[in-house]
Amino acid sequence: MMQHRGEILENAIRQSGIPLTRIVKNLNKSRRWLYNQFSRQDVSLDVFLEIGKLIHHDFSKNLNEFKPNTRQNHLIEDANDAVYGNQSAQYWKDKYMHLLEEYNELLKSQNLNLKNKS
């Protein structure tokens, strides 16, 4: 069953205590746009990232797409956007850190395999 992303977004914003007016002003959007997001089942992950930064909320606790094992698909989509210049330097920093983490896991697994063979 798919999570209703709009409800997750609305709950997080309301719990943050930050006024909706301030959020939409920082996003350069209208209140109507935000209310439309609340009613949508398929709110974009980019919207969650932007709003999460504003309200200091980590949506990885609420959305499976932000959990480490499924984040790779999102990074691939982001990489496609990056080719066309739609990403900031932060994207590349995040991607670099993600690749470093994967590389470290690979090294650890290879090290364990070598120890088991000896």
End-to-end CA distance of the chain: 47
Q: Which of 59, 84, 57, 79 is nearest to 3 (CA)?
A: 59
Percent of the chain with pLDDT over 90: 36
Do residue 82 and residue 50 come from a single domain?
no
Average of per-residue pLDDT across 100-117: 79
Average of per-residue pLDDT across 70-87: 55
The reported pTM is: 0.54
Do residue 48 and residue 21 come from a single domain?
yes
- Within 1-118, where are the H helices? 5-16, 20-27, 31-39, 45-55, 68-83, 89-117
Percent of the chain with pLDDT over 70: 76
Q: pLDDT tens, 27-78?
A: 999 999 999 999 999 888 889 889 999 999 888 888 877 666 545 555 555 5
Do residue 53 and residue 73 come from a single domain?
no
Residues of the domain holding 100: 68-117
As a whole number of angstroms, the distance between CA 54 and CA 61 comes to 17
